[in-house]
Structure 1
């Protein structure tokens, strides 16, 4: 309180009306009813939904990639003679490794 007996206000213009101490009022309850959890605004909710969708899509991509890998390996086994299968498998694995490495490099460069 000031010498005149009026409560002081802080930089935000808020005053604790009970004690007259400047700062955040301790008499206010949390916006969620006092449980200590804060509510999400629309932007945060949209962002979390996008993260969830991204996680689901990444899982789908991983499953599809594994299926593609096994299918291409099976196609190599069917269409390529026994003599050249190791070469085709090595070439295919090298391509998969190069694509994965380029993806990792692209992600790390963005950071």
Structure 2
């Protein structure tokens, strides 16, 4: 077996997604996201938890998450999405961010329709 074939055998090719998730995190990335989370304060942090557990619509319907908190939550989620090294958490944050945006757009449409 040649050296190249041995190297290929020992380190099989990774798919793009596997490659993305195999990149090690830098400690500064973790510290930065911890700072962003800390800036939210405990009340909004608990609302982030509720959104992740119950979903956007359900947590808003129950009143456990305040609409006024959504911009802060979106900013935090956006910080996560800007670092692909967070792996699956990045796609979860993107999904949650999009659901919040969708909810806000639907709410605006309802408010506009009600005012007419």
TM-score (norm 2): 0.30
- Considering fraction of residues, name the structure with more helix: 2
Q: Which has the higher contact order (CA 8 A, sep 6+)?
A: 2
Whichever of the two has the greater Rg, that structure is: 1
TM-score (norm 1): 0.31
